[in-house]
Structure 1
Amino acid sequence: MKIFKIIVSIAALFAFTMSYAQQAQDSVKTYKKRVLETTEVDFLTSYYSQDGDNAAVSGGLGTEELTDFTGTFVVAIPLTDDDVLTIDAGVSAYTSASSSNVDPFDGGQPADPFVASSGASSSDTWANISGSYSNSSDDRNTIVSGKVSVSSEYDYFSLGFGGGLTKLFNEKNTEVSINANVYLDKWNALYPSELRPFASGANGLNNGFFSNKTITGNTNYSPSFDKFSDETRNSYSLGFGFSQILSKNLQGSLALDLVQQQGLLSTPFQRVYFSDIADSFIENFQLADAIEQLPNSRFKVAAGGRLNWYINETFVVRSFYRYYYDDWGINSHTASVEVPIKLTDKFTVYPSYRYYQQTAADYFFGYEEALSTETFYTSDYDLSKYSANQFGMGVSYTDIFTKMHVWKLGLKSIDLKFYKYDRDTTFSSSIITAGVKFVMD
């Protein structure tokens, strides 16, 4: 009987202990820190402008003038303590003197590679929406994420999806990650207007397009032109990351990215002029000898690292280096440094500098440098040999207490940045970006 009472007492104690432990565990689950405390809303916008004299649309010779305005909303929503859903939606509207010359003859003035045409191809709108989902483990040492995106413009449509896994170790001082993405793209190919009458089955110079136009120079204009039979492009990427806190003032990271592309990698409306074919003109515009032809596969490798040094409460140094290689013959080096300077508890300025250098692709030829006997050729100066410098300055305002409100949204931060970019060719650009972050009350 005494033994029975002891057994009952032990069982009761065990049951009480298990019940208390379960309650404690439930309490931890109930009150554990959320990955994202409340809904965050970001509004991002930018204004971009560029100019130069090497437009790929007109075979490496012509205006590269372009302006672009972009607006984007990003909403991050905590679904549970562990799960976050992020919706990113944006629209970009541009006006391009360069792309307007896909059809340089549809404007109200003489066609010229250095003058924008006022036709339909002078502007376009790009729209994108993406959704991502992430789940963090209870100990916050494992993060699983997935993403789907859709983007579209007049001559292009893209569907993307991917996912990633992040693991933290060593009391969160070490982080490793892997991510993979797939993009399935579809062109609605646009070709230079003067080549369209020479597509398979067309009438060439007897087509109505030439009926009211006078060809000068080589009047026997007879280009070799075929439309692309496959207008799809698939891209597959795999990325690896490693980050380590080296000391209380120093953090470093390494990254490796692999990309494989298959399909239509040529831009259908980019002209090429051959040195062994006599030039033909309508007004001041040289008629295309061919369109850009590039291989239907490309493999890219990029490896780089970051080193962030916290000097004191005022200064931080953020440095970055990346080496890039692809099987088209391009090798490049990128190096940058940014020095955030904390002026007050709320204001920080961000001076920055970036240097870039690359070799030319095996298939790049400047204006009238390619021969008609070549298999692949392009006059896109993005694939040429060049070096570039970029200077930037930014300022940010942060209010961790979100004292300022707009409706039910508390203002958390404002960021404003300006970058000036110059190549050692004639190309230059500038961009102003602004971002405002709100948190939901």
Structure 2
Amino acid sequence: MKKSVNITAALAAASCALLGTPASANDFIKGWEMDTSLMYYGETDRVTAVEAVIAGKKDFGNEHIFNGKLVIDTLTGASATGAVAQSTAQTISRPSGNGSYIIQSGDTPLDNTFKDTRVQVDGQWTQPWSDVSRITTGLHLSTEHDYFSVGFNGSYAHDFYNKNTTLAAGLAYSYDVINPEGGVPVPFSTKTSVTNTTEDYDDDDTRDDNYSEDNEGNFSNDERQGSSDNKSTVDVLFGLTQVINRRMLMQFNLGVSKVTGYSTDPYKILSIVNDEGVTQSLVYENRPDSRTKTFAFWQTKYALDFGVADFSYRFATDDWKVDSHTLDSRLRINLSDKSYLQPHFRYYSQSAAEFFQPFLMEGEAIPEFATADYRLGEMTAYTLGLKYGLELDNGDELSFRVEYYQQNPKNAGFSEPGALQNVDLYPSVKAVIAQVNYRF
């Protein structure tokens, strides 16, 4: 960690020298509060992510404060496609349309080509508006190989009753551009694939052809409607923070979010199955091009003689009919003046989107919207974790966090024809999270 700080300071000093301004590493670092972290997230047989974060804060005087953050994360592994498992092996074409991969009999179809690197930069400036109010403005940039996002935000906060009560209002706007591999698929167009092969293959078996043969011996190609698409998001937030007494603090937030534009996942597909549950073809999903979400959030922090209790509840709903409840609790236990333990428990539940379907039936009319993405299905999830923090002799803080996460998708009332009764259509997702933080 210290090495990266020295490099940053050296670059700053060199820049000042080029501009004719003397500078030193200490001059640059002085006054900055830095927070760095490295996190590992690993799902069993699925996605693995590594994320590095560097955040800095500096008060330039008179409460003129700058906050900045750089995030770099990499993701690899296998991601669920939305297709259903089968009692025989399946061959599915890659997102780019070049080549294909084998799914073993009974296995949930996963895209093993999933790989991405994301870079995110955030900056915020806060300054007083009056003796009892302040304004904040911010900028957000994020990019990866098939996605770009830019956003702006601003907020106003006003204190009452000797700063025991704070009212805040915020507005944010973001614009995203999606550039999926192979282009944007036509909704419900047939994905090139070979299904229901009669034998299993090794997990790394692939086909290198750009086209695939269907069950009748015909060849087809994925249909695309352009190379990119976009969407915009507007968020409005209202907040109230209240000091209850010398030990208790409460916060209440209400928010509304409006998404307009391309909201479909271009890599997700659905299986069309017959009455026996056998896949006949694979088609691309389609979601509405608008979504309005509202949420209410309540948090309470209470100072105990031996630490701090932190509890929050969040309810969210949207016009896709996804309702969710989140309970989150942390208990900081001071082991000494310079160390602590913090157990963490989080519980989450949500209902399925009104257009969620684990599969489509052959012979039935194609709906206007449909997705088999388990993230929009009915589910529950929980997180169990423990954090250990230690203040070093120089005043810096080092902490470690380890957590276990499990997501349990559920059947939202769909019958399972034929062979689908013999496979797991709603497998659990299990993950381990490990993180180290260094604050100085």
Per the normalisation by structure 1, the TM-score is 0.74
Q: How does 1:252-401 map to 2 (within 5 A)?
A: 252-275=250-273, 289-312=282-305, 314-368=306-360, 371-399=364-392
Q: Deviations over 1:360-410 (max 9, x none)?
A: 0001111446955211000100100111121111111235xxx43xxxxxx
Deviation, structure 1 residue 222: 5.6
Q: 2:38 & 2:212 partners in 1: Cα distance? A: 45
Q: 1:222 & 1:279 partners in 2: Cα distance? A: 23
- Name the structure 1 match of 2:168: 177
- Name the structure 2 match of 1:414: 398
State the superposition RMSD in angstroms.
3.5
Change (3 A) 1:199 1:299: closer
Change (3 A) 1:289 1:125: same
Change (3 A) 1:124 1:224: closer
Per the normalisation by structure 2, the TM-score is 0.74
Q: 2:148 & 2:391 partners in 1: Cα distance? A: 38
Contact 1:258/1:301, CA 8 A, preserved across alignment: yes
Q: How does 1:14-413 map to 2 (within 5 A)?
A: 38-51=31-44, 65-98=46-79, 103=94, 110=102, 121-136=113-128, 139=131, 141-191=132-182, 215=213, 217-220=215-218, 225-227=223-225, 231-275=229-273, 289-312=282-305, 314-368=306-360, 371-399=364-392, 403-404=393-394, 411-413=395-397
Change (3 A) 1:116 1:329: closer
Relative to total residues, which structure has the larger helix share, 1 or 2? 1
Q: 2:383 & 2:79 partners in 1: Cα distance? A: 23
Letter paired with 1:437: R
Q: 1:251 & 1:156 partners in 2: Cα distance? A: 39
- Name the structure 1 match of 2:423: none
Letter paired with 1:386: M
Q: 2:163 & 2:210 partners in 1: Cα distance? A: 72
Relative to total residues, which structure has the larger strand share, 1 or 2? 2
Q: 2:301 & 2:249 partners in 1: Cα distance? A: 5
Local SS of the residue matching 1:379: coil
Change (3 A) 1:218 1:353: farther
Deviation, structure 1 residue 98: 2.1
Q: 1:190 & 1:279 partners in 2: Cα distance? A: 30
Note the residue ranges of structure 2 that are not aligned, 5 or more in a row: 1-29, 82-91, 195-206, 410-427
Q: Identity over aligned residues, as a percent?
A: 21
Note the residue ranges of structure 1 that are not aligned, 5 or more in a row: 1-36, 52-62, 281-285, 405-410
Contact 1:270/1:292, CA 8 A, preserved across alignment: yes
Q: Deviations over 1:253-312 (max 9, x none)?
A: 1111110000000011111112359999xxxxx785321100000000010201222232
Change (3 A) 1:102 1:354: farther
Q: 1:180 & 1:102 partners in 2: Cα distance? A: 42
Q: 1:435 & 1:211 partners in 2: Cα distance? A: 46
Letter paired with 1:387: T
Q: 1:334 & 1:369 partners in 2: Cα distance? A: 34
Q: 1:331 & 1:311 partners in 2: Cα distance? A: 34
Deviation, structure 1 residue 324: 0.7
Deviation, structure 1 residue 102: 6.6
Local SS of the residue matching 1:295: coil
Contact 1:182/1:234, CA 8 A, preserved across alignment: yes
Q: 1:210 & 1:435 partners in 2: Cα distance? A: 44
Q: 1:83 & 1:274 partners in 2: Cα distance? A: 58
Count of aligned pairs between the two proteins = 366
Deviation, structure 1 residue 103: 1.0
Q: Deviations over 1:57-82 (max 9, x none)?
A: xxxxxx6x010101111121222332
User: Which range moved further: 412-421 or 102-111?
Assistant: 102-111
Change (3 A) 1:138 1:324: closer
